[in-house]
Amino acid sequence: MRHIRAWSIALALLVLTIMIVVPLVEIFIQSVYRDGELQLAAPFRTLADAEILKVLLGSIWLGICVIAGTTVLALPLAWIMVNTRLARWRWLDIVFLIPFMTPPYIGSMGWILFMQKNGYLEQLVPGLASVTPSFFTFGGMVTIMSLHLFPFLYLLLRGALERIGGSLEEAGAVLGAPFTYRFRRIIAPLLLSAYGMGAMLIFVKTIAEFGTPVTFGKRIGYEVMTSEIHKYISSWPIDFGKATSLASVLLTACLLIWYAQSVLSRRFTYSLVGGKGIRRSSLHSQGRGTWIYVIFVAVVLLLSIGVPYFSIIAASTMKLRGVGLAWNNLTLEYYKELLTWGSTSMRSLMNSVLLSLAASTIAVILGTWFAIVIGRSRTRMERTTDLFSLLPNTVPGIVMVVGLILLWNSPWMPIPLYNTYGMVILTYVILFVPYTVQYVKSDFGQIDPSLFQAGQVFGGKPHYVFRRVLLPLIVPGMMAGWMMTFTIASRELVGSLLILPPSVQTSATYIFAQFEQGQVSLGMAMAVVSVGLTTVMLVIIESLGSKRKWNA
Amino acid sequence: MNNFTTIKTGWNKGTSLTLVLALGLTLAGCGTNSNSTAKEASPSANNSVTNTQAADQKLVVYSAGPEGLANKIIEGYEAQTGVKVEMFQGTTGKILARMEAEKSNPVVDVVILASLPSAQGLKNDGLTLPYPEAKNADKLNPDWSDKEGNYFSSSASALGIAYNTKLVTTPPTSWEDLTKPEYKGQINIPDPSLSGSALDFITGYLSDKGESGWSLFEQFNNNDVAVAGANQEALDPVITGAKSMVAGAVDYMTYKAKAKGEPVDIVYPKEGTVISPRPAAIMKSTQHEENAKSFIDYLLSDEAQKLVSNAALLPGRTDIKAENRANLDEIPLLKADWVWMNENGADVTDKFTKLFK
């Protein structure tokens, strides 16, 4: 039996190597081969530049601040959504995903349009004109990025809190521990592994993020690594070597963080899901104080969705953007243009939906397999699998995509995948498979092995144990991974711009093209429609899933 | 506990089988999708299998904006020749990045860029296929196109000062006006590392004024001129009223917004400005040489040049007049030295970026 698991690991490593490692190696070769000769020192020369070091530190500082920002939003929110009466409002979970569904550059544009001079805020409340410039600072950038990324941390923390269940905390309460003590000695240690993983992913997402730095960061003159990388990759003269040298710095930074996190989580992973069912604690269910939670949730929603979407919708319904907010300036013309059957915009929308459906399904299957292979990452093979499957999340998307093109479009490649839809799906799968791996891994790590033993003892065949014990326990993680992948894939921009076959557009590239063409209103309308569509699809899937969802 | 590993491998067997099976199925799904199309054929559903072998009916074009114009040109060409065109649309930077990534196995046949130095770069790297026999090439503005037929500028834009008509009542008349204290913090300039035309403006200005030309940009910096993304990103805040002016704005974008009714207009400063030609070139690696050549012929035809003029761009042919915009002879020009501009583009970008940091 043991050799089957070994084969499974070997196969997973092989698939990961072909999918992820080889393209990155191609990139590395590019960074050391300059002008046709091998120059191993080339990447290091790029780094000797003091300017680059400053930019790198800027990136890291931004990442740390955004971790703090998302924690302030996500931790109370997760606690509220597990422990208070608001937990019954499951639809809120999908609403919380909206900021994450919004393409980051659209969200930033929304904030800019709202806060800028003569912007919507000043048009609504002229008295605030003296306050708005203070938004265009580093603090504003951290705020925007935190409001965009917090759902990610929230989902992880909520999942972990749910698994902690009420009994442990109640035990503490019975023994007379006050709330702060219970939080410090019971909840915090149990949360640490999920939080560490979430914080690391937030950090990596932040320093690999491109949309906000390029829209908002440019405006306040805050430079980060991704904008530098992008410069070498998208303006003449194109220098993949320099770009990849910079990318390898980012990669190294991310790997260090990953290592610290994995050490941390190996120390603090506990078996939480055992034979006993999980029961919600009644400690916090009293009506008293509910209004505080409602206010907190409302404020978060107002800032993360209200403000940007006010701007986005306003911009998408304006006849003339130079006129500003006025009832006689209102039009639905752009939506009509957008939703005409058979138009380019409709085709892009359909492409987005179909491509992300295919990509997220494949990503979940692969990701679950990898997560199970990784298990509790005890052996070196398991840890290597863990590392490989996480790589796409640590490299800026654009670098990964260039590597993929180098590999799949090389003359010796026997599989003619390049410039087909298959290539787009493959790219999305590679870019987003880490999400499923993370979610399933975090579910899986907390399952007590005694459950499988119990299944075995009662005569369950391996596939029966898998189907009736393991699968139900990891389905929530798979669902979260699927939803996350679908959400991000349907708004993916950087990779799509480079990898889509000619004449094919997705909603994200369509929006981007409209901005480039000066059709901002049309682009904003598309953003509203595609985010709306994604939300509807998630609601449908969630409601289908919740009927059969495993609930202990 | 001692037989835990056995149990673990037990269900892992099941897991692996299930997942590998599912993976195999999905990959097979992808495979059937792509195997039917030939290597260079794109799968866009309706044109896959049939037309790769017989008469060559295919052409891949990478084109910089404006999108409306590019689409119309493709439509016109398809109607005339029956060739099916696959187009990738993006900024000059995106197109070049894609070409670089595809270098070992190029897909593109014809590129249309928005920056002359990039086309000169392609030519110097030996990537272009000369086509000196192109029809009407002799009528093109000789300053903008290659004598040996490596690239043809079928259209061009001019750079000026775009301003918000609600915020600026007396438009500036010279570049120096933008350094006045009343405009402090009110002006955007497109980023030369992202916008080829902004780079053309800066290098063109410097090639005319010499080293002393930098003083203008130093004063810009002192007057809090903001470097703001590519062209449209620089113009957009002016339309909404967050900024008053764009220095080195691409004129056709401003004309388009103005035609729509937005409160913007453009002036060309009296000491002169730079024209940013938009070259088209056939790639040496093309597998559809005849179609590529006929596409260039079409770009230079009366019909396509009319489309250019309708899109508020300057037609590349000297014998065709622009209609709803300023013509070439109405725009004061600096003495731009394109050879110098091409050689110094990278250094200028570097110095400019450092200056505005």
Q: Which residues of B touch A456 (CB under 8 A)?
A: 7, 10
Nearest by CB: A366 against B23, B66, B107: B23
Backbone angles phi, psi at B251, to 5 degrees: -70, -35
Q: Minimal CA–CA distance to B202: which of B239, B170, B235, B227?
A: B227
In b/e form, how buried is each residue of B198-218, taking b as 16+ CB within 10 angstroms? bbbbbbbbbbbbeeebbebbe
Residue A98 contacts by C-beta under 8 Å, 6 or more apart in sequence? A304, A305, A309, A531, A535
| Interchain contact, B233 vs A417, CB within 8 Å | no
Q: Which residues of A touch B125 (CB under 8 A)?
A: none
**pLDDT score at B17:** 43
pLDDT, tens digit, 9 for 90 and up, residues B38-63:
333 344 434 433 344 446 889 999 99
Which tops the pLDDT comparison, A75 or A344? A75
Does an H or E element contain A37, and which? Answer: strand A37-38
pLDDT, tens digit, 9 for 90 and up, residues B300-342:
999 999 999 988 899 999 888 888 788 888 899 999 888 888 8
Tell me what the mean pLDDT of segment A369-381 comes to.
Answer: 83
**pLDDT score at A46:** 67
Q: Are A185 and A164 in contact (CB under 8 A)?
A: no
Reduce the DSSP state of residue A287 to 3 states and report it. coil
Name the minimum distance, in Å, from the CA of A313 to any CA of chain B: 15
Chain B, nearest residue to A347 by Cα: B44
| Interchain contact, B240 vs A324, CB within 8 Å | yes
Nearest by CB: B105 against A118, A234, A411: A411
Would you list the domain boundaries of chain A? 2-280+288-547
Name the minimum distance, in Å, from the CA of A314 to any CA of chain B: 12
Question: Does A324 score more than 70 pLDDT?
Answer: yes
| Interchain contact, B33 vs A422, CB within 8 Å | yes
Task: Measure the CA–CA gap between A400 and B95, rounded to whole angstroms.
Answer: 18
Which range is least confidently modeled, A54-58, A238-242, A469-473? A238-242
Q: Minimal CA–CA distance to A506: which of A432, A433, A424?
A: A424
The one-letter amino acid code at A317 reads: T
Question: Does A370 score more than 70 pLDDT?
Answer: yes
Pairing of strands B110-112, B58-63: parallel
| Interchain contact, B105 vs A410, CB within 8 Å | yes
| CATH for B158-275+332-355 (3.90.199.10, 3.90.76.10, 3.30.2130.10, 3.40.190.10) | 3.40.190.10
Q: Of chain B residues 289-328, which have a CB less than 8 A from chain A?
A: none
Q: Minimal CA–CA distance to B112: which of B137, B136, B143, B145?
A: B145
Q: Are A374 and A441 in contact (CB under 8 A)?
A: yes
Q: Per CATH, is B53-156+276-328 categorized as 3.40.190.10? A: yes
Q: Which residues of A touch B96 (CB under 8 A)?
A: 234-236, 238
Provide the β-strand partners of residue B281. B111
> Mutate which of A30, A503, A506 to disrupt the B interface (most B C-beta within 10 Å)?
A503
Tallying the residues shown for chain B, one arrives at 357
pLDDT, tens digit, 9 for 90 and up, residues A376-429:
777 888 888 888 888 887 777 777 888 888 888 888 888 888 888 999 999 999
User: Using CA of residue B22, residue B28, residue B31, residue B32, what is the dihedral sign?
Assistant: negative
Binding residue positions of B for Fe cation = 252
Residue A390 contacts by C-beta under 8 Å, 6 or more apart in sequence? A258, A434, A437, A438
Q: Which residues of B touch A361 (CB under 8 A)?
A: 26
Q: Are A235 and A411 in contact (CB under 8 A)?
A: no
Tell me what the mean pLDDT of segment B158-183 comes to.
Answer: 93
Name the minimum distance, in Å, from the CA of A322 to any CA of chain B: 5
Q: Which residues of A touch B87 (CB under 8 A)?
A: 502-503
Q: Of chain B residues 200-219, which have a CB less than 8 A from chain A?
A: none
Chain A, nearest residue to B164 by Cα: A322
Helix A520-547 to helix A471-489 angle, to the nearest 10 degrees?
A: 170
> Mutate which of A214, A419, A496 to disrupt the B interface (most B C-beta within 10 Å)?
A419
Name the minimum distance, in Å, from the CA of B94 to any CA of chain A: 5
Q: Does B7 touch chain A (CB under 8 A)?
A: yes
Question: Does B28 score more than 60 pLDDT?
Answer: no
Tell me what the mean pLDDT of segment B185-203 comes to.
Answer: 88
| Interchain contact, B8 vs A5, CB within 8 Å | yes
**pLDDT score at A526:** 92
Tell me what the mean pLDDT of segment A486-508 comes to.
Answer: 85
Q: Minimal CA–CA distance to B300: which of B154, B181, B173?
A: B154
Three-state SS across chain B?
CCCHHHHHHHHHHHHHHHHHHHHHHHHHHHHHHHHCCCCCCCCCHHHCCHHHCCCCCEEEEEECCCHHHHHHHHHHHHHHHCCEEEEEECCHHHHHHHHHHCCCCCCCCEEECCCHHHHHHHHHCCCECCCCCCCCHHHECCCCCCCCCCCEEEEEEEEEEEEECCCCCCCCCCHHHHHCHHHCCCEEECCCCCCHHHHHHHHHHHHHHHHHHHHHHHHHHHCCCEECCCHHHHHHHHHHCCCCEEEEEEHHHHHHHHHHCCCEEEECCCCCECEEEEEEEEECCCCCHHHHHHHHHHHCCHHHHHHHHHCCCEECECCCCCCCCCCHHHCCECCCCHHHHHHHHHHHHHHHHHHCC
Other CB atoms within 10 A of residue A401 CB: 26
Name the minimum distance, in Å, from the CA of A528 to any CA of chain B: 20
Could you tell me the CA-to-CA distances from B346 to A52, B69, B200 in Å, in that order?
18, 30, 11
Q: Minimal CA–CA distance to A390: which of A358, A426, A431, A356?
A: A431
Would you list the domain boundaries of chain B? 53-156+276-328, 158-275+332-355
Nearest by CB: A425 against B30, B121, B346: B30
Name the minimum distance, in Å, from the CA of B74 to any CA of chain A: 11
Q: Which residues of B touch A319 (CB under 8 A)?
A: 261
The one-letter amino acid code at A256 reads: L
Q: Does B124 touch chain A (CB under 8 A)?
A: no
Q: Which residues of A touch B44 (CB under 8 A)?
A: 501-504
Name the minimum distance, in Å, from the CA of B349 to any CA of chain A: 10
Burial class for B3, CB neighbours closer than 10 Å (0-12, 13-18, 19+): exposed
Which range is least confidently modeled, A259-268, A542-551, B158-167? A542-551
Which range is least confidently modeled, B153-157, B285-289, B319-323? B319-323
Task: Measure the CA–CA gap between A519 and B257, rounded to whole angstroms.
Answer: 9
pTM value surpassing 0.90? no
The percent of residues above 70 in pLDDT, for chain A, comes to 90
Q: Which residues of B touch A118 (CB under 8 A)?
A: 240-242
Does an H or E element contain A38, and which? Answer: strand A37-38
Tell me what the mean pLDDT of segment B19-26 comes to.
Answer: 44
| Interchain contact, B97 vs A406, CB within 8 Å | no
**pLDDT score at A103:** 84
Q: Are A58 and A226 in contact (CB under 8 A)?
A: no
Tokens of A101: 């569904």
Task: Measure the CA–CA gap between B310 and B324, rounded to whole angstroms.
Answer: 7
CATH level 3 topology of A2-280+288-547: MetI-like fold (1.10.3720)
User: Using CA of residue B295, residue B296, residue B302, residue B308, what is the dihedral sign?
Assistant: positive
Task: Measure the CA–CA gap between A51 and A215, rounded to whole angstroms.
Answer: 21
The percent of residues above 90 in pLDDT, for chain B, comes to 50
Binding residue positions of B = 252
The percent of residues above 90 in pLDDT, for chain A, comes to 20
The one-letter amino acid code at A24 reads: L
Binned at pLDDT 50, 70 and 90, residue A336 comes out as confident
Reduce the DSSP state of residue A34 to 3 states and report it. strand
